[in-house]
A = this chain, B = another copy of it.
Amino acid sequence: MHVISSTVSSVDDAILSKVADTVRVLAVDAIEAARSGHPGLPLGCAEIGAVLFGEWLRHDPAWPAWPDRDRFVLSAGHGSMLLYSLLHLSGYALGLEELRRFRQLHSLTPGHPEYGLTPGVETTTGPLGQGFGNAVGMALVEAMLARRFNRPGLAVVDHRTWVLAGDGDLMEGVSSEAASLAGHLRLGKLIVIYDQNRISIEGTTELAFTEDVAKRFEAYGWHVAAVDGHDLGALRAAIRWAVSDVSAPKLIVARTHIAYKSEKQDQAEAHGAPLGREAVAALKRRLGWDPDRAFEVPAEVYRYFDERRKAWRKQAETWQRLWEQWSASHPELRRQWDEAWSLEVPEDLVEALPAFVEQKPVSTRVAGGKVLNAVAERLPYLVGGSADLAPSTRTYLDGKGSVQAGQFEGRNLHFGVREHAMGAILNGMALHGGVRPFGSTFLVFSDYMRPPIRLAAMMRLPVLFVFTHDSVWVGEDGPTHQPVEHLDALRAIPQLEVWRPADARETAAAYLAAIERRDGPSALVLTRQDVPVLPLEGPDGATRQRQGVKEGAYVLWEAGGGPVDVTLVATGSEVSLALDAARSAQAEGIRARVVSVPCRERFIAMPPERRERLLAAPAPRVIVEAGVRAGWGWLAGPAGRFVGVERFGLSAPAAQAAQEVGLTKERVLAAVREAAGKQAG
């Protein structure tokens, strides 16, 4: 570890110091006005913010979407007022009036930074460790796009990813996982500044966090330096050190004092509670501000950033010219660039999908792997990987190479057994732009990565989550590996679409629908076991099925010959089970309809009349799914039945396990008879 002291001074120190104090004043004023917020970090990291935004960040507030901008991630999202203050001073479209409305209804300054709401905010943070993982994803995509698009003398992708992370971020396992992978991949343009204030909510970090963080990051392969986080010259020198080499990610351990310069310096309560009116006034007096005025920004601070803004604009214009030159000399690359940044989906993508034939049962994970590979041929920006389960989840892109340190031309990522980091990194990749990321693991391990799935949904990121081994049909591996509640738990997340296709063809159609959705994440839930390829009727059967899948539900089969006695509703591997039962019911004189529901979210979003028609209302319903009933109850209705799994699974050969928990044709048939009001035939 390098220890960097203040050897580099600058004429800018006086103004940067003023910038830092302005950030302090804006932050405490906003928090005081809201009577809510976290002053500790903005006060403690004001110098870090001033040096970073004042001297180093390569961005253009007039063009927040500049593809080659540096990304700055405030992983410690509770310090949002640091970021809002700096965005305001830098000249983003975030006026003082928004800072005055900090944490108020419909302001641009919510309690934690929210992506898509506030210009300049690169990701939604707050749940600790997530931003750190996002940043690893951003730095990874930077390296991948640079490899893909840069040409000699024409480096159209060349930017850094900066993170400000706190003690809490670095205690979370997700950041450990992400840091290990970043070190492995030697992401040399990732720079993390660690706000080591040694205070957490319960008190000093001596209570729970006494590890040697610097040594830990060195063990991951990072380069580490330590610095006084309030010393502008030392911070500048540390950042100069960090940008001088791109052979490894950098951690700058900045020793700071929480709530620096205030009465509550070094106190845990400064973390998340307003300082109080008197302490704010005292702080202002100490800083040379008028205690009776709020949200005061010295004119020289605005002037300083006016100058900066001109320089930033110039940088962006220089890049734009470079990019136009590059476009002119590499029109095909430019075409690919446009396609990648817009996530353009060719209209004839459907024709690239593999065909699957009846008479040849195949697991939907295997079918999914074929579909994913076919899609990847047409979408060069589709990249992804697995948390060390690709041979099982079947998501490896054949012939597309692996991404490794110095080998960023590959399209297959090896996340290691790090589901949580995988999720956060996928989000960061999508946030960066220029790629469409996917990641896979077993459905049961979606529990390891719920926080980033939730954030992907909240941010409406077009991430594809692929979850295989989706029920007790996992078999011998037993209850720890058999999901029963996970479908329901995923479907509970707003704005996430969960696909559980019934067979190979539905899998292709579901992938197509998920790829076409670009305003939110999708989860593909696939079987381990082989399932029949369901019969299609009529010459346009395949087209109608694809349309039905896209709409979330469709009539797969119907006995005919009269009104429907019972409607069977099923998903995934239980559709063929329902079909079997429906056919047997027909022999008993019960006319059943089978409705396949590959995507419950879309089914629910249908106009109610349409949904009722699909269900052949008022026919009683039998719902079949290898999981808990919870979210299906509303659909079953009082006369309906649910055949599912309301218990943990068990270790046994798959068919026996399924039988043991009651996933049998007999049980479905019995439910059909009951619903139809008939005794066993």
Q: Which residues of A contact B (CB under 8 A)?
A: 34, 36-37, 77, 103-107, 110-112, 114, 124-128, 167-169, 171-177, 180-181, 183-184, 200-202, 205, 207-216, 218-221, 268, 386, 388-392, 402, 404, 414-418, 420-421, 444-445, 447-448, 450-451, 454-455, 457-458, 475-481, 484-485, 488-489, 491-495, 628-638, 646-648, 650-653, 656-657, 660
List the number of copies, as a whole number: 2
5 A-B pairs with the lowest CB-CB distances in the bound complex, closest first: A173-B173, A633-B634, A110-B651, A208-B416, A126-B480
Nearest-Cβ distance from residue A476 to partner chain B, whole angstroms: 4
Q: Write out the residue numbers on chain B whose beta carbons fall within 8 Å of the beta carbon of A202.
A: 386, 388-391, 414
Please state if A417 and B168 are interface contacts (CB–CB under 8 Å). Answer: yes
A-B contact pairs, 17 of them (CB 8 A): A34-B476, A36-B476, A103-B652, A111-B477, A112-B481, A126-B477, A126-B480, A126-B481, A172-B418, A181-B208, A184-B210, A201-B391, A202-B414, A211-B219, A447-B454, A630-B630, A633-B634
How distant is A180 from chain B, measured CB to nearest CB, in Å? Answer: 5
Which chain B positions have C-beta within 8 A of A214?
Answer: 219
Q: A37-B476, A112-B478 are in contact. Are A488 and B219 (CB under 8 A)?
A: no
Q: Are A200 and B126 also in contact (CB < 8 A) when A213-B219, A221-B210, A650-B105 are?
A: no
- In the complex, the answer to whether A414 meets B208 with C-beta atoms within 8 Å is yes
Contacting residues, chain B, for A455 (C-beta < 8 A): 480
Q: Answer whether A173 and B171 are a contact pair too, CB < 8 Å, given A104-B652, A126-B478, A651-B112.
A: no
Closest to A481 in B: B126
Q: Is A420 in contact with B386, judged by CB distance below 8 angstroms?
A: no
Answer whether A77 and B480 are a contact pair too, CB < 8 Å, given A173-B176, A494-B648: yes
Q: For the complex, give the distance between the alpha carbons of A101 and B268 in Å.
A: 57
Whether A635 and B633, one on each chain, are in contact in the complex, defined by CB atoms closer than 8 angstroms, is yes
The reply to whether A480 and B124 form a contact with Cβ atoms under 8 Å apart is yes
Residues of B within 8 A of A653 (CB): 36, 103-105
Given contacts A201-B391, A458-B479, contact A646 B211 (CB under 8 A): no
Are B201 and A128 in contact, with the CB atoms below 8 A? no
A648 with B181: CB separation less than 8 A: no
- Taking a contact as CB atoms under 8 Å apart, the answer to whether A392 and B105 are in contact is no
Partner of A416, one of B200, B389, B454, B648: B200
Residues on B with C-beta less than 8 A from A485 are 454, 489, 492-494
Q: Smallest CB-CB separation from A640: which chain B residue?
A: B634
A324 to chain B, nearest CB (A): 39
Q: Which of A215, A492, A494, A633 has the most CB of B within 10 A?
A: A492
Q: What residue of chain B has the Cβ atom nearest to residue A391's Cβ? A: B201
Complex-state Cα separation, A634 to B124, whole angstroms: 35
CA distance A458 to B205 in the complex (A): 34
Which of B392, B418, B445, B458 is in CB contact (< 8 Å) with A648?
Answer: B458
The interface centre, meaning the residue of A114, A168, A480, A631 with most chain B CB atoms within 10 A of its CB, is A480
With A171-B177, A216-B216, A629-B634 given, name 10 new contacts (CB 8 A). Answer: A104-B653, A105-B660, A201-B392, A208-B415, A212-B221, A213-B219, A216-B220, A489-B489, A633-B633, A634-B636
- Using CB atoms, name the residue of chain B closest to A168: B417
B454 close to A451 (CB less than 8 A): no
Contact B180 A388 (CB under 8 A): no
A660–B415 alpha-carbon span in the complex (Å)? 40
A112, B477: Cβ atoms closer than 8 Å: yes
Chain B residues whose C-beta falls within 8 Å of the C-beta of A215 in the assembled complex:
215-216, 218-219
Cβ contacts under 8 Å, A646 to chain B: 494
Residues of chain B lying within 8 A (CB to CB) of residue A632: 633-634
Tell me the bound Cα distance from A478 to B107 in angstroms: 12
- The answer to whether residues A417 and B167 also contact, given A111-B478, A448-B451 and a CB cut-off of 8 A, is yes
Chain B hits for A414, CB < 8 A: 202, 207-208
Could you say which residues of chain B place their CB within 8 Å of the CB of A124? 480
Chain B residues whose CB sits within 8 angstroms of the CB of A172 once the complex forms: 173, 177, 417-418, 448
A656 interface neighbour in B37, B105, B386, Cβ under 8 Å: B105
A642 shortest CB reach to chain B, Å: 8
- With a cutoff of 8 Å between Cβ atoms, the chain B residues found around residue A219 in the complex are 211-216, 218-219
Is B650 a contact of A127 with CB atoms below 8 Å?
A: no
Q: Is the CB of B416 within 8 A of A479?
A: no
Which partner residue on chain B sits nearest A444 by CB separation? B127
Q: Shortest beta-carbon distance, A122 to chain B, in Å?
A: 15
- Give min CB distance, A50 to chain B, whole Å: 26
State the Cβ distance, A485 to closest chain B Cβ, in Å. 4
Inter-chain contact B201/A389, CB cutoff 8 Å: yes
How far is A112 from B293 in the complex, measured between Cα atoms in Å? 65
CB atoms of B208 and A495 under 8 A apart: no
A648 to B454, CA, bound (A): 10
Assembled-state Cα–Cα distance A128/B491 (Å): 25
